[in-house]
Amino acid sequence: MNYRTIDDMFERGTLVQLTDLWTPALARYRERPAVIIDIEVLGYPRSINRQKNGTSVSEKYDCIYTVALMPAERNATFARAQVPVIRVISSDVVGILAAEQEAADFAAWCVREFCGAEPASLPHPITTGNGRFIGAAVLPHTIPMYEARHRPNDHRNKSLDAIDQVRRHLDECQPDVIVLASTHWMPRDGFFIDDGAQHEDGCDSSYQGVEPQLFSFPGDPELAALIGDLARDAGLPVRRIHRVAQEHAVWVPGHLLCQERRIPLLPCSIWWRGPREAHRRFGEIIAEAVRRLDRRAFFVASGGLSHTFDFSKPPEYVVPQGERFDRLAQEWLERGQHGRLLDMSEDDFETWNPEGRAGHLYMMRGALGQDVRGQSLCYQGSNGTGYLTMVFQN
Ligand SMILES: [Fe+2]
């Protein structure tokens, strides 16, 4: 077993060697130096199997890397058009590649081109404006949940029905933009914000190693730029990026909530192991940018509650210590007591083990700007973890 944990993943900008051991279609890229440009944290170890000397061997992986491949033919400069970008599972990455000069130049170019940048300083004399977050929702987001729509007996259909109520709510309130905090986007060095005008799969379509991403959403670059500028001014570590690929904590809720409507979607990360208070502050800054730009915005906290998996029990099982804190968190949110989540002791917090270390919930409180009471639409267990769907009207 070669299981990597979240704290043990390769950073953006790392030059790596790929293997086709687990994914035969990678054979044509195997000899190419590759650079990690993005990381999708899956949240639990999945298994992959292969045959070796007539027996089945398996390995665990829990993240997907987006990698850029060094062009086979070298021109004077690198250009995006010549650089294939693909998504691979972490088992497809053998390890760090010793950087020869050309590969090191390529890695440095990838960092500049794909790995995010400091937010620009904006001339923003506008300090008035009446924009605000008109509401928010906490939602789970697994890929099987998306697929459960076609499986009537899947337990997740309860949550899907609840998410559909949120969708109908959005139909009524017609927000200008959805700001979505993803608990599968977990950089260790601060917050990232996606400033793309259009979010779609920018990966090499000739490679089908990881499922194609089912999304195409407009973005809100103006809002993203102002959030980045204000956050940097406030001393928060933040980078802006137009991601080549999204991940399922973005595209699953995006699809379920927007369907055919074209509501601009602005994805942002949490800050893995960043302070709780910094998440709340980042949410407040997002709300300030929304106010100045007169947006009627809706916040989506994309993530579950307790996140300790147990696949040995029935599908709706929740580990008891997780459920105990989930019920408390649900009650606090229903009462609008967001501060109690912020004030949890470290011991209780570690026992609870919330998805994304609850960064999405702290950001949501900051974005709402006050202790809004939530309306529970569904709570259910899923393979040990707790799913809450809750809506807030501000
Ligand atoms: Fe998740």
What are the respective helix, strand and coil percentages of the chain, to the nearest 5? Answer: 35, 30, 40
How remote is the CA of residue 289 from the centroid of ligand 1, in Å? 27
Distances (CA, A) of 232 to 44, 229, 240, 277, 281: 32, 5, 11, 16, 12
User: Does pTM surpass 0.85?
Assistant: yes
* Nearby residues for ligand 1 (ion, Cβ within 5 Å): 43
Q: How far, in Å, CA of 196 to CA of 357, rounded?
A: 26
- Write out pLDDT tens, residues 300-317: 999 999 999 998 999 999
Domain with CATH 2.30.30 in the chain: 6-114
Tokens of 262: 């074209």
How remote is the CA of residue 27 from the centroid of ligand 1, in Å? 30
* Secondary-structure class of domain 132-393 per CATH: alpha beta
How remote is the CA of residue 140 from the centroid of ligand 1, in Å? 7
Domain with CATH 3.40.830.10 in the chain: 132-393
How remote is the CA of residue 182 from the centroid of ligand 1, in Å? 9
- Write out pLDDT tens, residues 7-49: 778 999 999 999 999 999 999 898 899 999 999 988 778 889 9
- Count Cα atoms within 13 angstroms, Cβ side, for 15: 17
How remote is the CA of residue 183 from the centroid of ligand 1, in Å? 6
Are the C-beta atoms of 363 and 270 separated by less than 8 Å?
yes
How remote is the CA of residue 359 from the centroid of ligand 1, in Å? 13
Q: Average pLDDT, stretch 158-165?
A: 94
* Secondary-structure class of domain 6-114 per CATH: mainly beta
Is the per-residue pLDDT at 1 higher than 60? no
How remote is the CA of residue 204 from the centroid of ligand 1, in Å? 25
Q: Average pLDDT, stretch 198-217?
A: 83
How remote is the CA of residue 35 from the centroid of ligand 1, in Å? 25
Are the C-beta atoms of 142 and 185 separated by less than 8 Å?
no
How remote is the CA of residue 268 from the centroid of ligand 1, in Å? 15
How would you label 337-351 residue by residue, b for 16+ Cβ within 10 Å and e otherwise?
A: bbeebeebeeeeeeb
In this structure, the number of other CB atoms found within 10 A of the CB of residue 148 comes to 18
Q: Name every residue whose Cβ is closer than 8 Å to that of residue 17 and which is 6 or more positions away in sequence.
A: 33, 34, 93, 94, 95, 96, 97
How remote is the CA of residue 57 from the centroid of ligand 1, in Å? 27
- Write out pLDDT tens, residues 66-104: 999 999 887 778 998 899 999 999 999 999 998 788 899
